[in-house]
Amino acid sequence: MISKKIVLIGDFSTGKTSLIRRFVDNQFSDKYLSTIGVKISRKNITLDENEIQNIIWDVEGATESKMLNASYLLGAHGTIVVADITRESSMENMKEHIDLVRSVSDKTAVVIALNKSDLLPRDEAEKILASLQKKFSDIKFVTLTSAKSSEGVTALFQELNNLIMSQ
């Protein structure tokens, strides 16, 4: 079995831990507990009959006063940049996070998750999605997710693994 390191980064309170919890344990909690440092989870997935172990790094969210620690990104095969679709600042900061990922390794597969999509009307969420797909045209997969409703969560990890394996 091959192992792949996947790192989730983004601003604080964008739902990185919830996305992982939904993906790994299929659970969700509304309670917000800040992540400190990094927490590592594992999840095995099957892709084209190959079993892959995802080593998923849930990294402490970036704030204005504390930026993301680049050492967590070392050796990452894939990165999920997570933003809160209801918080414009978290979407504005995505470029900074992507630049950091690229500065550590330009080979890492990157996807974007616009999380908490359940909090916006569908048309409004899709409008934002379209505008960010245009803005980040070099990112191959930008999607709406909701850890609460589980919308797009499996597809997000599946697509990232596809990208990792195709590299």
Partner 1 sequence: MHLREVLDAIYDNHLYEYFVIDREYQIVEFSDKVTHYCAEGYLHCEETDIFDVLPEFIGMQKEFEELFEGRKESFLLPYVSKEPNYYINIRVHQGRPRETLIVLLEDVTNLANLEQRSIQERNDKSLLLSQLAEKNRQLQMYNEQMQELVRQETQKNLQKQKMLELRSRQAQMGEMIGMITHQWKQPLGIISLSCSLLEVLQRKEELDDTKLLNQLKDIAKQVSYMNTTVNDFQNFFNPSKEKRTFRVRKTIEGITDLISNDYEINNIKVEISGSENIFANGYQNEYSQVILSILKNAKDAFVEKPHEDMRIIIDITTQDERSFVTIRDNAGGIPEDIIGTIFDLYMSTKEDGSGLGLNIAKSVIETNMDGKLFARNVENGVEFTIVV
Per CB under 8 A, residues contacting partner 1 are: 3-5, 12-13, 32-34, 36-40, 42, 55, 60-61, 63-66, 69, 71-72, 74-77, 86-89
Q: Of 160, 9, 20, which is closest to residue 72 (Cα–Cα)? A: 9
Can you tell me the distance from the alpha carbon of 96 to that of 157, in angstroms, rounded to the nearest whole number?
22
| Phi and psi angles of residue 114, each rounded to the nearest 5 degrees, phi first | -95, 95
Closer by beta carbon to partner 1, 12 or else 28: 12
SS3 120: coil
Minimum gap (Å) between residue 52 Cβ and partner 1:
12
Minimum gap (Å) between residue 126 Cβ and partner 1:
18
Can you tell me the distance from the alpha carbon of 34 to that of 94, in angstroms, rounded to the nearest whole number?
19
Closer by beta carbon to partner 1, 26 or else 34: 34
Minimum gap (Å) between residue 138 Cβ and partner 1:
23
